[in-house]
Homo-oligomer: A and B are copies of this chain.
Amino acid sequence: MSGRFITMEGGEGAGKSTMMDRVADWLAGSGHRVIRTREPGGTELAEQLRDMLLDRDNLLLSEKAELLLMFAARAQHLDELIRPALARGDWVLCDRFTDATWAYQGGGRRLPAEDIAALESLVHGDLQPDLTLLLDLPVEQGLQRASNRSRADRFELESNGFFQRVRNAYLERAAAFPERFAVIDAAPGVDQVWAQIRLVLEERLTS
């Protein structure tokens, strides 16, 4: 028996954390052993890389180094946590994965698609999520929600144009892989967002 790999994606203020809680509870309630994790990070070494990537004082970090660090953290996360968990039949619920790299480094920073594709193939050419929940929200609305939080990280300091490109890249990924993605309207209240997600989980995971 092999577990399933579910990822949650979305821009700033889309409400990923709240929905991660609900999805984890729902999966556990369905009798699965659930490993909840996040990217960048998820293991001790990968979390050290996360700190470097998000630290807003790391002004000199180059775009290419950022891209490679993302995939270095991902390789460690996959090798140390995700692959072993799936192999023993656990379900893995991950806050962001490679679609976020396509959105932030590809869309936001406009890094070449062929570079991202080469790294994706090198690091997990054999493994893709079984289901990706994309919480979609107009950029202005997301930033307004996110502005109530603590000190912004290195990415949250970017411009509105950056976040618009992130959103567009996410929606392009969803259009390119409709069988894996479910686009969730994250604009309404928590219970309405959750109702959409629960429907997706029931339709796609209980077959």
Contacts and interface: CB of A to CB of B under 8 A. Distances in A.
Contacts of A61: 45, 76
A71 interface: yes
Given A79-B65, A122-B118, A43 B60 contact: yes
A62 to B, nearest CB: 4
Interface in A150-173: none
A72 interface: yes
Contact of A45 (B43, B52, B79, B122): B52
Contacts of A80: 60, 62
How many monomers of this chain does the complex have?
2
Q: Is the interface on chain A under 10, 10 to 19, 20 to 34, or 35 or more residues?
A: 20 to 34
Interface string A37-60: 000000111001000100000101
A75 B61 CA distance: 9
Given A60-B45, A80-B62, A123-B64, A72 B75 contact: no
A68 interface: yes
A68 B58 contact: no
A68 B123 contact: yes
Nearest to A122: B115
A69 interface: yes
Contacts of A62: 75-76, 79-80
